[in-house]
Amino acid sequence: MTAKLNVKRLLSWGLAVAAFAFVAWMVPLRDRCWDAGAPASTRVAVSREAAGCVLHLRTGDLAIDDVACARLKCEPGVLSTFAHARLAVVATLLGLYALGTLAWAARWRALLSFAGIDLPILQVWRISIEAQAGGILLPGGIGGDALRVTGILARPTRDGQARAPVSIVIASVVLDRFIGLSLIAGVAAALGVASGGAGAGPLVGVLASIPLGVAVALFVLRRAPLHRIQRLSEGRLGRVVTPVLAYVRDPRALRAIALAALLSLGVAAIQFAVIRGLVFALGASPTNEKWIYVGTAMALIVSAIPALPGGWGTADAAYVFFFALAGVASGAALAVCLVFRLFWYLSGVAGAVLYVTGRPGPQGASADPRA
């Protein structure tokens, strides 16, 4: 078991290192410019000054005047992308992102409420963003999911039980993650087709198949005698499958899952709107719009892979690779990723502050999962 765990860790770190290497190779900090009449392979890093530009050649720095600088064809770097950002738009998008966290909490509340775990939406939101701090620190949001379970188990249910049913809470978190990712994939596929997705046909098809696969899996879990399969009921897999099986076979589960899927459409719409807004706010003009949506979905999906905390490396590489297909410079693509991650971190910081202060939440319940 230890050897297998070490192999998994090595593979995760290997994936993350490869992704970081790709980003470092592709993304310039400074603008990269070249003579329009020369091959793009002659591009060099450029610093801009009031009197012109400084070309950072291998043989040394070379200053040129503003007339010669204006003749250069340039790819913006990360620093110049941030320097020309539309800050008012970025601030508005931060507010929209915050609204998305409330929609996310509402989706999870829908999955919890049918079993008597009927907490106010603001309290579920508070547990969610408190747990988000753990998701930032641990790979693939695993720590965040564990903290969400712990936070709910500390609250009484509406029927007066000392704690909520463990199987329902665990299943709700697992389903919340799968429903969220599957609807993101489905919405990305729809947006990709709507914006001319013929060139991305196979990948759009794969994304479209994800929500269909989740729907089929739920049907199988409800109907098939999976409890008779020993491999599915024991060990690590059993700890995930057993509570989900108990959840989805409850007669009230279908309505809760349907409501969660509807709310997930709103969550996905907000996330895509925030990413597309950041592309605009950072001055990029895509030439192939479909790859913005397909690339965003791929980045959000790979962020769930337990490689490095917060999807560092893997998510960045996905944005850089797919946004390049959209005609967005690598510096701008990485800037979009970093600002979106900053929004996530700000939400996590707010959750961490609420967790540490431990002030009473709505209806007098403690907001500290340790209570």
d(CA 99, CA 97): 5
Distances (CA, A) of 158 to 82, 124, 161, 169: 49, 14, 7, 14
Q: pLDDT tier at 150 (50, 70, 90 boundaries)?
A: confident
pLDDT at 276: 95
pLDDT at 173: 87
Structure letter (DSSP) for residue 166 = H
pLDDT at 134: 72
**What three-state secondary structure class fits 283?**
coil
122-127 average pLDDT score: 89
Query: What are the backbone angles phi and psi of residue 54, rounded to the nearest 5°?
Result: -120, 120
Q: pLDDT tier at 141 (50, 70, 90 boundaries)?
A: low
pLDDT at 362: 39
**Taking a C-beta distance cutoff of 8 angstroms, is the pair 314, 212 a contact?**
no
Minimum mean pLDDT range among 55-59, 209-213, 283-287, 299-303:
55-59
pTM of the model: 0.77
pLDDT at 369: 32
d(CA 252, CA 112): 11
pLDDT at 117: 74
185-201 average pLDDT score: 80
Neighbours of 297 (CB within 10 A): 29
Residues with Cβ within 8 Å of 113's Cβ and at least 6 positions away in sequence, in order, are 256
| HEC string for the chain | CHHHHHHHHHHHHHHHHHHHHHHHHHCCCCEEEEECCCCHHHCEEEEEECCEEEEEECCEEEEEEHHHHHCEEEECCHHHHHHCCCHHHHHHHHHHHHHHHHHHHHHHHHHHHCCCCCCCHHHHHHHHHHHHHHHHHCECCHHHHHHHHHHHHCCCCCCCCCCCCHHHHHHHHHHHHHHHHHHHHHHHHHHHHHCCHHHHHHHHHHHHHHHHHHHHHHHHHHHCCHHHCHHHHCHHHHHHHHHHHHHHCCCCHHHHHHHHHHHHHHHHHHHHHHHHHHHHHCCCCCCCCHHHHHHHHHHHHHCCCCCCECCCCHHHHHHHHHHHHCCCCHHHHHHHHHHHHHHHHHHHHHHHHHHHHCCECHHHCECCCCC
Minimum mean pLDDT range among 179-188, 207-216, 265-274, 305-314:
305-314
Percentage of the chain exceeding pLDDT 90: 21
pLDDT at 284: 87
Tens-digit pLDDT profile for residues 73-124: 777 777 778 888 899 999 999 999 999 999 999 999 998 887 667 788 888 8
The overall average pLDDT reported for the chain is 77
pLDDT at 64: 81
Tens-digit pLDDT profile for residues 226-276: 555 555 556 566 666 777 777 788 777 888 899 999 999 999 999 999 999
pLDDT at 15: 56
Inter-axis angle of helices 201-223 and 235-248, to 10 degrees?
80
Percentage of the chain exceeding pLDDT 70: 73
Minimum mean pLDDT range among 205-214, 216-225, 240-249, 330-339:
240-249
| Two structure tokens written together for 307 | 């490689």
Q: Is the pLDDT score of 157 beyond 70?
A: no
